[in-house]
Structure 1
Amino acid sequence: MLTLAGTRPPLLSETSLYELHHRARLAIKPGITGMWQVSGRSDITDFEEVVRLDKEYIENWNIGLDIKILLKTVLVVFRKDGSM
């Protein structure tokens, strides 16, 4: 089950390769959008950066952050920022 905002949904194939610090991103439900998606998405190719953004989201979560991410998502989609 996904939420509107959250961490990037993990691929089943990648979870078996997770190191201990990667597992923190599984602490909450993934979202349809999130920090990774509004921070450059396709431009961020380093998995460690994706994990860092997800951990930042988890550590700083509040309803205001979700609203900010949702609003930024609309802008990113219209501008086609970070898309391939």
Structure 2
Amino acid sequence: MSDEFDITETLDVKGASCPMPVVKAKSAIDDLDEDDVLEVVATDSGSMSDIDGWATGTDGVELLEQVEDGDVYKHYVQKTA
């Protein structure tokens, strides 16, 4: 993980498959303040493209980093508005 940002909240969606990681991430990010960073921890390999697509297509959200750690996928999303 990068040292460039501080994680505000961690969302554990291990075991959930598409579209739940994105649905739960959207719900969690809606509850955060601007500039907060959400860490999403998933086991669904599809979450890599799903969360990237969601963040890219959503105003007010920026994907900072994605990390594959064995069977666990970590996504770092910042609320920008």
Structure with greater strand share of residues: 2
User: Which has more radius of gyration?
Assistant: 1
* Structure 2 length-normalised TM: 0.32
Structure with greater helix share of residues: 1
Relative contact order: is structure 1 or structure 2 higher (C-alpha 8 Å, sep ≥ 6)?
1
